[in-house]
Amino acid sequence: MKTDQEIMDSVALKVSEILGISAEGIDKTKFVYLYTLLYTNMGQGKDGDDNMRHWMNTHNTHLGFCPADSLTDGESLAMMIEYLEHFANI
């Protein structure tokens, strides 16, 4: 039986593969939550995956940075989550 940490590591690895970015040095719980918000906002399937990758790898003028470049910064990660939560709740 897998431990909770092993499960979280496995899920974070799958998310990093979908988004095309490394999960090294990232809070895995928040990273997976960020993915669920992206999924909620951008949908599923190939178009949703493409849209999520685009959002992660493009400079966001509202946030003031490129999300993929700022994942290891806890404050920036919190800003991304708050930003996406806003749109998920509209």
Q: Alpha carbon of 59 to those of 20, 41, 71, 80: distances in Å? A: 16, 18, 13, 12
Q: Residue 36 is part of which domain span?
A: 4-88
Q: Please write the tens of the pLDDT for every residue from 14-33.
A: 999 999 999 899 999 999 99
Task: Report the distance separating Cα 74 and Cα 21, nearest Å.
Answer: 17
Q: Answer whether residue 89 shows pLDDT above 90.
A: no
Write down the pLDDT at residue 45: 75
Give the count of domains, the chain: 1
Summarize pLDDT for 40-60 with one digit per residue, the tens: 998 877 788 899 999 999 999
